[in-house]
Amino acid sequence: MKLQVIDVSNPLWSETLQNLRHDFYHVPGYVALEAKRMRAIAEAILIQDGEKVFFLPYLLRQCDDIFDEDLKASEIFDVSSPYGYPGILLNDAGAEDLEFIHLTMAQLIQTFKDRRICSAFLRLHPIFNHYFDEIYYSQICTIHSETIAIDLKLTEVEIWRQTRPEHRNKINKCKRSGFVARIVPWNQYFHDFIDIYTETMKRVGASKSYYFSHEYFWHLVEALKEGVHLCIVELDHQVVCAGLFTEYCGIVQYHLGGTRNDFLKSSPTTLMFDYVRLWAKERGNEILHLGGGVGGAKDSLYRFKAGFSQQRYNFSLVRLIADEENYNYLVNLRAKQLNTQVEQLLKTEFFPVYRSISV
């Protein structure tokens, strides 16, 4: 079994993806962009055993960002996933061999420990990794929430039938009122998208992590190139709704989007999703993944998306403690910072607990 730690400049990263079904979360340009945003280092671990392949991209962070005056903490690292649903990639041979999966996870943990990486928080891909909670025991892998996807292999009639009557009415009403959805060049509608997205985040009171700079969006499009598409909905030549969608290996993802405040009652997003699912189907894709609610909650956003399909996927999280000694050391430091007891801090659901901002 051969293990390699590679960075985004290594051509082996892109060469590996050519032979694995993957999503945009795994593309080196995207992981590098996330690393810059999170002030981390973009890396991936590649494990091969004959024909079997395991691939995991991640962000490597030094722990001195929260314990900047502690010398030992500055020598300890942790790992997290880029924003979205990256998860672990396995080729067919690897996915069919449970022993290989268990061995790679054990080797992964040991490699992290050897590199002074005390913990790893991994967001799994709902489609590629939907069965991982059945493989790993609950202390490592747990189902966090559900996501919604549209099965594009269904007929258009069946896709429409699975659409909630309320959504069907709104789609038809949008069309009668003159709303038009279409895929457009990014560079021509960049400012419209940014304005709408920012207006939406302000309206819903989104946390700071959901705000992205103009530069970030430009670099995102540059990184994904033809794999990213912008859909807009217009009324009388005014852009009232916009969404970024990605397209990789038969999977179209709804990434980010929003609606202008003045047009919320018309719900142009229903028309946008209706248009994109037929557009994606015509291009030969298999799944349109809409995601879930904010933070995985079954909130109003989740219920809205659920009105487009009966297809559900489990979204799971992996929480690894690779080095208990260093992990516990950081937990004790954090408890002192928050002026609380370690036992109380450990009761929080946040992981890694030493990055918790409150008790």
pLDDT tens track for 294-353:
887 889 999 999 999 999 999 999 999 999 999 999 999 999 999 999 999 998 889 999
**Residue 330 DSSP SS3:** helix
pLDDT computed for residue 297 by the predictor:
81
How far apart are alpha carbons 55 and 94 in whole angstroms?
10
Residue type, 164: R
**By percentage, how much of the chain surpasses pLDDT 70?**
99
Give tens-digit pLDDT for 141-150.
888 889 999 9
Mean pLDDT of 1-5: 96
How far apart are alpha carbons 330 and 261 in whole angstroms?
44
Taking the model in full, what pTM does it have? 0.94
Q: How many Cα atoms occupy the beta-carbon half-sphere of 346 within 13 Å? A: 9
* Cα Rg of the chain, angstroms: 21
How far apart are alpha carbons 19 and 293 in whole angstroms?
32
- List, in order of start, the domains of the chain with CATH numbers: 2-123+323-355 (3.40.630), 148-314 (3.40.630.30)
What is the DSSP code (8-state) at residue 97?
-
pLDDT computed for residue 76 by the predictor:
96
How far apart are alpha carbons 190 and 253 in whole angstroms?
19
What are the start-end ranges of the H helices in 28-155?
28-38, 92-95, 98-114, 132-135
Q: Is 186 exposed, middle or buried (0-12, 13-18, 19+ CB in 10 A)?
A: middle
Looking at the predicted structure, is the pLDDT value of residue 54 above 80?
A: yes
pLDDT computed for residue 255 by the predictor:
96
Mean pLDDT of 257-279: 97
Looking at the predicted structure, is the pLDDT value of residue 139 above 90?
A: no
What band does 174 get if pLDDT is binned at 50, 70 and 90?
very high
43 bridge partner residues: 7, 58
256 bridge partner residues: 244
Looking at the predicted structure, is the pLDDT value of residue 138 above 70?
A: no
